[in-house]
Every structure is written in structure tokens, then in C-alpha cells.
Homo-oligomer: A and B are copies of this chain.
Amino acid sequence: MPPSNYQGPPEAWIIAIGNELLIGRIVDTNSAWLARRLTFLGFRVRRIVKVPDEISDIVEELRRAIERASVVITTGGLGPTYDDKTLEAVAKATGRELELNDEALRMVAEFYSKKNLPLTPEREKMAKLPRGSKPLPNPVGAAPGVLLELGKDKIIVSLPGVPSEMKAIFDSHVAPRLEALAPPRALWECSLIIEGIPESTLAPIIEEIARRNPTAYIKSHPKGHEVMGPVIDLRVLASAPDESEAKIIAESIIERFYNEVIKLGGKISQRTCGKPS
């Protein structure tokens, strides 16, 4: 237990829900992805817990997490089937009713009407949220994400278990909200324009460097033709409590990329660093 004058970063807990995780049918890559994002945003991830699809198990872990963390993120259990119990558990853990949310219902209805599928009671279930929640649009799948504020610096976010849906909702709707909760962070961005190396060749290098640098966000945008005349815009955004630290992180990563590109016979046609706009 930290002393009461402890001034570290706010705590985040991740709860991954699903029997398939506990029988080992699935390796949980979502939690590591979220842990990286949360760390980058300035939170300290203190627990990652996997629980089966049982209300009492989910509620137990939610209550522990809510008591101690500023941010609680759940993944999984938002779908239409009987096994999807996350929202019922969030409602129970926070002493709220589940109620049909009009905005969520519109999102779910729109998703199915585009596919010419009817809105069955099972599908409608995805729009029943703990009272006071805000649905988060899911650009990839049917189930909206759900954001519930508890007081002014505590938040529960429920995301789908499908990685593409989880990531899309987090980046569009959760990260911006969490930035406001996180301690002030300084950012520093560097970029390289890389010529002559296909993105697929660079991908494993990006992945390895990204894995080693959780407080940096690395993204590549292909600009030329993948094989004939590949051009890649590579951006590194580092986050740290102060600017000089962010600068060191971003610039040392970009230096590492620079060296790898030269080693691979590529060309750097532009290199810039600065405060991101």
C-alpha cells in the first residue's frame, strides 16, 4: 500500500472476461495492447485479471478494481448471447439498473438494418446499459462500447473482446477521454520519410522497437507503391512527465530506425523532430 502522500500516476486495471481465456483457447493479446496504450497515456497499470463468464466472478473483480483504480477497462462479454454478462455485472457492481439506452439502440439498430437483419431481443440486449452510461460507437461491429463515469475521476469502460472492435473504440472514444484524467504529459514527435524499403520489411522492426518502448507510439503510413517504389512516413510520438525526457525517448527511437534503414539499404529523404501540433 503506497503511503498517503504518494504522488505517482493514477492507477488503471484491466479485466478481461471470457471462459475461452481461462481454458487457454485464446492468448489474450488485448490486455497487452491496452496496457501499452494506458502506460503511454500516463497511467500505471497495476492489475490485469482474467475472469470467466460468471456474474459473481466479474462483479468481484470489478468491485476490487473500482475501489482502487481511476480507470477500469473491461474487454469481452458485450455481445448478444446469454454468455455475454459484462454489462449486467457492471450494473450490479455499481448498484445501478440496466436500462435501454436510446442512443445505443440507434447504433445497434443501424448496424443490423445495414445488413438487412431484424432487431431481435438478443440484439437489443446490447443497448441495455447500466444507468448513466454513455454508448461508444463501434465502427467495426455490432456492440457499442460503454463508458460509465463514477464521480469525477473514476471511469469504467467496457469494450468488446474482438481486437479490431476494441482497438477502434479505444482509439476514437476512450483515449481522448482518458487524456483528461491522466497527469499532464509532455509529448515529442519525430518523423522519417523512408524510401526504398517495403513496409512489410519494416514491420517486424517497428513491432520490436514498439514493444521495447511502451511510452512511445509508433505509426507508419505507406505513401508510395509497396514494392515498386516504397515510401513510408514513419512517426514516433513519445510521452513523458517532462519534455526533455519525451525528447530523449523519441529521438533515440528515431535514431535506431535511421540506422536500421541505412543497414537495409534504404534512404532517408526527410527527418524532423518537434513538439506535436
Contacts and interface: CB of A to CB of B under 8 A. Distances in A.
B52 A50 contact: no
Contacts of A34: 24
A32 B28 contact: yes
A23 B26 CA distance: 20
Interface residues of A, number: 33
Interface string A23-36: 11111110111111
A168 interface: no
B49 A22 contact: no
A45 B23 contact: yes
A268 interface: no
A47 interface: yes
B35 A46 contact: no
B56 A39 contact: no
A46 B51 CA distance: 7
B32 A214 contact: no
B45 A211 contact: no
Contact of A48 (B22, B29, B211): B22
A57 interface: yes
Contacts of A46: 22, 51-52, 57
How many of these chains are in the complex? 2
Contacts of A44: 22
B24 A39 contact: yes
A76 to B, nearest CB: 13
Contacts of A29: 27
A56 B1 CA distance: 7
A227 interface: no
Nearest to A34: B24
A49 B16 CA distance: 10
Given A49-B48, A51-B47, A24 B32 contact: yes
A39 to B, nearest CB: 5
A115 interface: no
Given A32-B24, A36-B24, A47 B45 contact: no
A24 B33 CA distance: 6
A52 B11 CA distance: 12
Nearest to A35: B24
B27 A32 contact: yes
B49 A47 contact: yes
A21 interface: yes
A212 interface: yes
A29 B21 CA distance: 11
8 contacts: A22-B47, A22-B48, A23-B35, A24-B39, A26-B32, A27-B28, A28-B32, A48-B50
